[in-house]
């Protein structure tokens, strides 16, 4: 009986250590990060890796799938460096909130070319974030309030569409030749 208890305690300890290692990984400075999928948004253009499909020098996440100019390559390298700095800042303990906020702004500025977002669009982004949190909370209720979940989902879709329309208009204004 005593041997069985010791074996069970060792198995539980191994499970706990393994779970913690999986959840936190080796750290952002060693190619890991905070759990599964941490680096999935670190493609060459700051977007998802899946969109670039491993083509060197191609648009990587760029729906036009064309060769990149030298200027675009430099900008994408800057984005990658800024995202790495952000990951490293997030892996520090305790997390320096001001430093993280500054790095997030830097990444945002690089990705959007420094363009400013109108206050109306910022408010829609904030409302979308709040609605998404409320939607998740609604889905955890027992029983799930289907009417409220559907209303929140429709609201989120409408806000996403408005934001996407603004982004497309900005992209077309910025570069009408493409």
Q: Which two tokens stand for residue 31?
A: 């190619």
150: pLDDT confidence band, cut at 50, 70 and 90? very high
Residue length of the chain: 178
The answer for residues whose C-beta is within 8 angstroms of residue 96's C-beta and 6 or more apart is: 89
Determine contact, residues 43/56, Cβ cutoff 8 Å.
Answer: no
Predicted local confidence at residue 74, as pLDDT: 84
So what's the pLDDT on residue 129? 84
Q: Residue 55 has what pLDDT?
A: 46
* DSSP one-letter string for the chain: -HHHHHHHHHHHHHHHHHHHHHHH-S-GGGT--SSTTTTTT-STTSS-GGGTTT-TTS-TT-TT--PPPHHHHHHHHHHHHHHHHHHHHHHSSS--HHHHHHHHHHHHHHHTTTPPPPHHHHHHHHHHHHHHHHHHHHHTSSS--HHHHHHHHHHHHHHHHHHHHHHHHHHHHH-TT-
Residue 60's pLDDT is 46
Percent of the chain exceeding pLDDT 90 equals: 12
pTM, rounded to two decimals: 0.42
Tell me, what's the pLDDT at 54? 46
Tokens representing 101 are 């906020």
Question: pLDDT band for position 155 (50/70/90)?
Answer: very high
């Amino acid at each position: 009986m005593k041997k069985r208890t010791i074996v069970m305690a060792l198995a539980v300890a191994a499970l706990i250590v393994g779970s913690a290692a999986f959840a936190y990984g080796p750290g952002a400075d060693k190619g890991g990060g905070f759990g599964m999928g941490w680096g999935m948004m670190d493609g060459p253009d700051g977007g998802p890796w899946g969109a670039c499909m491993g083509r060197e020098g191609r648009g990587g996440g760029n729906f036009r799938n064309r060769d990149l100019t030298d200027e675009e390559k430099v900008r994408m390298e800057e984005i990658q460096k800024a995202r790495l700095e952000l990951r490293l800042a997030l892996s520090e303990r305790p997390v320096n909130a001001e430093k993280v906020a500054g790095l997030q702004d830097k990444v945002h500025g690089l990705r959007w070319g420094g363009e400013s977002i109108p206050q109306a669009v910022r408010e829609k982004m904030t409302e979308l974030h709040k609605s998404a949190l409320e939607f998740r909370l609604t889905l955890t209720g027992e029983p799930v309030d289907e009417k409220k979940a559907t209303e929140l989902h429709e609201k989120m879709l409408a806000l996403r569409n408005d934001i996407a329309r603004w982004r497309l208009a900005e992209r077309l204004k910025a570069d009408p030749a493409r």
